[in-house]
């Protein structure tokens, strides 16, 4: 080694020790802050003179603060910026201040405006910086660092060291869930994450472009910059399936953010269980806005006039509900513009008025005139009371204007050819088991909540119970005050009693001790301040109506790829879906670089894409692995053995793997179940059958091929599809 090389090595070692000392100091500051918050948390739990409501609020706030401090432990500081003026900025997961030195910044939160240069500075555009340093860490230990000199153009804009950090991250074996990219955010990603837009942001990108993780980092950024507006109502993340939500669910907690609710579209109606799947045509019909007309007509069909007059036998008179009376009552009830169940009161009032008028005329014939208003109204009141307890009258109301639940109306609609015909619905919606709910039913059931109104019986009972409990607590307080007047010499006893009474009263004030995600998930009327929609190309027009109701401010991050659409009811263009709800308030940002799929695999997937979506350009892979994807022809009885061989081979390697095949194929998962996920190795079984599975089979196969980050194999029984001719035969 030359003298110069040895000197450089020594300088690097000395600098590394210096950085280790600084970052060790950051961890010391983190530990001190964690201890301070933990001590306060325990103190508040023991009680510190606050009311229970105040105590509960502070406990929650401190718990969130402790969670943010805990997740910062791994990779606390991952970079440094050196400015042209000589200032140094250390960049990390959270911000830390030096309380002993005028609150100087020891560590800058990656979301702070001053940290932006760490992600966007290039040789050609250095953002007033001269160097970017990236730390390589394991736990709390700094293993090494790499420097990138700014202020001069370099290959690939970011330069060699920046690319090295990125490639190390994308080449690393996959674990059980998606990782955050806080240390390796790229320029095009950072611009989207920090975008100042209050409406709907559409992020579109092909497989591996990082659109999902960018959207999640954008949520973390919004919570940092707009915490007061967003935090108490939370953020909703919609994903395609539970496996996907489990895969991405760690990203935001790893960034210190917890007030986030994860759901599929099937979870949007609390308490509903999705147990079936619609055929494509039924899904297409249910997803169309034309279903609004069907629902209106289905409700109107339940608002009926009697075919024959319905007799109502009262004590002193017999009256009838005829078609003319019912028709009048229906028109008045509809004119009220109230939901169906609420408008039943108007319908009932009209029917009641007509029947009592007729009964009074019969009972009072010969002695009662309208001028005798007091007697007339007295008799009416008696008749109204009698009708209120009349079983026949109640049965008639239920027949002509029944109370309906969304589930009852929709299940009876689906299972009746006559009701479907009366509602003007397509016969393809018929199913024998009306309550075998599908994902496509969820937005319809949600719509019906507003169209029908709610049955408030349970709510009223709960409110009566709450008031009774509150009155009891109030009585305890009054008793304590009375005892204080009578027993002034028993101060200690009274103090204890008064504390008990105040706590008891506090306990019955209106508050919910559940965490935000629990409260939001169980409340159909909960509204969020921001919603992330992943795999958004699969959502129907009716799905979007549900989500718009959940976010009145219309603040969305929409993530998708139109080329991967499989749903017959999904989006063919973003404008078609969004313009009706947010005209002029949505913007589009594409992602073009593929960080997941190596070039060798993307060449094969790109050939397939060119066949079914010739106008779509596949994303450019940032790396090649030198490992060629392969294919192997197998016989019918060899498939299971070949799958087992793949599983055994991958079990000996570090990382994750999956076998994807046609829906229902033994030992495989369907492409739809793998959407949004990534694995080190993927085996695709019988691609020819996936292609043949419905009109979107090519998109399904495209999804399957692009899940791999390292290795891809294909087993085929029939002829290998022509688009996959780029595979190496094994």
User: 210: annotated binding-site residue?
Assistant: yes
CA distances from 13 to 142, 300, 363, 579 (A): 12, 80, 108, 58
**Is beta strand 310-313 parallel, antiparallel or unpaired with respect to 318-321?**
antiparallel
Q: b/e string for 527-550 if b means 16 or more Cβ within 10 A? A: ebbbbbbbbbbbbbbbbbbbbbbb
User: 509: annotated binding-site residue?
Assistant: no
Distance CA 364, CA 366 (A): 6
Q: What angle do CA 260, 584, 617 make, to 5 degrees?
A: 75
Who's near 654: CB < 8 A, 6+ residues apart? 173, 680
Give the DSSP letter of residue 669: B
Instruction: Say if residue 205 carries a ligand binding annotation.
Output: yes
Other CB atoms within 10 Å distance of the CB of residue 273: 9
207 is in an annotated binding site: yes
Residue 416 to residue 517: CA distance in whole angstroms:
38
Distance, in Å, from the CA atom of 364 to the CA atom of 696, rounded to the nearest integer, reads 74
Residue 714's DSSP bridge partners are 631, 684
Count the neighbouring beta carbons within 10 Å of the beta carbon of residue 699: 25
Contact 555, 265 (CB under 8 A): no
121 within 8 A of 129, measured Cβ to Cβ:
yes
- Is 230:532 a contact under the CB 8 Å cutoff? no
E strands, 4-128, are 77-83, 88-92, 96-98, 104-109
Residue 626 marked as a ligand binder: no
Give the whole-angstrom CA distance, residue 532 versus residue 536.
Answer: 9
Strand partners, 378: none
> How are strands ordered across the β-sheet holding 77-83?
96-98, 104-109, 88-92, 77-83, 129-138, 141-149
Write the CA distances from 663 to 348, 640, 684, 706, 721, integer angstroms. 52, 16, 12, 18, 18
Tokens 């730390």 label which residue?
135
**b (16+ CB within 10 A) / e for 1-33:** eeeeeeeeeeeeeeeeeebbebbeebeebbeeb
Instruction: For tokens 């005209």, name the residue.
Output: 583
State the CB neighbour count (10 A cutoff) for residue 385.
10
Nearest to 390 by CA among 322, 309, 299, 321: 321
- Vertex 321 angle, CA 319 and 326, to 5°: 150
Task: Take residue 701 and report the two structure tokens written for it.
Answer: 């196969």
Phi, psi of 654 (to 5 degrees): -80, 140
* Integer Cα distance of 588 and 20 in angstroms: 42
Binding site members: 205-212
Binding site members for ATP: 205-212
């Amino acid at each position: 080694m030359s003298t110069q090389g040895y000197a450089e090595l020594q300088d690097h070692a000395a600098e590394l020790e210096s950085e280790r000392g600084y970052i060790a100091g950051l961890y010391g500051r983190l530990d001190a802050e964690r201890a301070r918050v933990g001590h306060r948390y325990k103190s508040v739990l023991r009680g510190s003179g606050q009311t229970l409501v105040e105590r509960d609020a502070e406990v929650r706030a401190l718990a969130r603060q402790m969670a943010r401090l805990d997740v910062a432990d791994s990779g606390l500081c991952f970079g440094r910026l050196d400015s042209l003026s000589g200032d140094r900025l250390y960049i990390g997961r959270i911000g830390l201040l030096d309380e002993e030195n005028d609150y100087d910044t020891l560590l800058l939160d990656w979301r702070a405006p001053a940290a932006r240069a760490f992600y966007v500075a290039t040789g050609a555009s250095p953002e007033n910086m001269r160097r970017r340093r990236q730390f390589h860490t394991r736990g709390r230990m700094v293993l090494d660092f790499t420097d990138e000199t700014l202020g001069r153009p370099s290959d690939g804009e970011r330069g060699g060291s920046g690319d090295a950090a990125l490639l190390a991250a994308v080449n690393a074996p996959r674990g059980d869930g998606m990782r955050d990219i806080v240390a390796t955010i790229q320029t095009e990603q950072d611009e989207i994450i920090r975008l100042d837009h209050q409406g709907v942001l559409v992020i579109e990108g092909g497989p591996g472009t990082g659109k999902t993780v960018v959207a999640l980092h954008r949520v973390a950024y919004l919570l940092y910059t707009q915490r007061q507006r967003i935090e108490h109502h939370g953020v909703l993340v919609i994903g395609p399936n539970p496996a996907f939500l489990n895969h991405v669910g760690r990203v935001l907690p790893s960034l210190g953010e917890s007030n986030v609710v994860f759901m599929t579209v099937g979870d949007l109606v609390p308490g509903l269980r999705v147990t079936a799947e619609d055929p494509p045509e039924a899904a297409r019909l249910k997803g169309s806005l034309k279903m609004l007309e069907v629902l209106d007509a289905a409700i109107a069909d339940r608002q009926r006039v009697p075919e024959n007059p319905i007799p109502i036998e009262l004590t002193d008179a017999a009256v009838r509900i005829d078609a003319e009376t019912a028709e009048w009552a229906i028109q008045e009830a509809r004119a009220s513009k109230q939901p169906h169940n609420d408008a039943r009161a108007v319908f009932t009032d009209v029917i009641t008025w007509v029947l009592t008028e007729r009964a009074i005329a019969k009972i009072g014939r010969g002695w009662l005139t309208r001028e005798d208003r007091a007697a007339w109204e007295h008799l009416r009141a008696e008749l109204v009371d009698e009708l209120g307890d009349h079983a026949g009258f109640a049965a008639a109301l239920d027949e002509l204007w029944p109370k309906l639940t969304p589930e009852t109306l929709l299940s009876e609609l689906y299972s009746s050819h006559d009701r479907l015909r009366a509602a003007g619905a397509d016969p393809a919606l018929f199913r024998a088991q009306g309550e075998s709910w599908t994902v496509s039913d969820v937005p319809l059931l949600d719509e019906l909540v507003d169209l029908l109104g709610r049955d408030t019986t349970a709510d009223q009972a709960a409110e009566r119970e709450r008031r009774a409990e509150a009155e009891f607590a109030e009585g305890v307080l009054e008793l304590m005050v009375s005892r204080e007047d009578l027993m002034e010499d028993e101060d200690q006893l009274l103090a204890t009693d008064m504390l008990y009474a105040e706590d008891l009263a506090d306990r019955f004030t209106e508050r919910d001790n559940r965490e935000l995600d629990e409260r939001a998930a169980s409340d159909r009327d909960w509204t969020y301040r921001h919603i992330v929609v992943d795999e958004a190309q699969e959502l129907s027009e009716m799905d979007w109506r549900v989500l718009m109701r959940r976010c009145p401010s219309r603040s969305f991050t929409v993530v998708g790829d139109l080329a991967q659409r499989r749903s017959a009811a999904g989006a063919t263009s973003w404008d078609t879906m969004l313009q009706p709800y947010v005209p002029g308030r949505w913007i589009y940002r594409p992602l073009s670089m593929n960080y997941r799929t190596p070039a060798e695999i993307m060449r094969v997937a790109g050939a397939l894409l060119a066949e079914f979506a010739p106008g779509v350009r596949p994303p450019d892979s940032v790396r090649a692995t030198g490992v060629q994807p392969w294919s192997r022809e197998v016989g019918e009885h060899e498939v299971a053995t070949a799958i087992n061989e793949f599983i055994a081979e991958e079990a000996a390697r570090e990382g994750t793997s999956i076998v994807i095949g046609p829906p229902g194929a033994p030992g495989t998962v369907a492409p739809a179940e793998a959407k949004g996920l990534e694995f080190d190795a993927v085996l695709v079984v019988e691609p020819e059958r996936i292609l043949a599975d419905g009109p979107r089979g090519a998109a399904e196969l495209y999804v399957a091929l692009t899940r791999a980050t390292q290795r891809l194999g294909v087993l085929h029984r029939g002829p290998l599809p022509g688009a996959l001719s780029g595979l190496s035969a094994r």
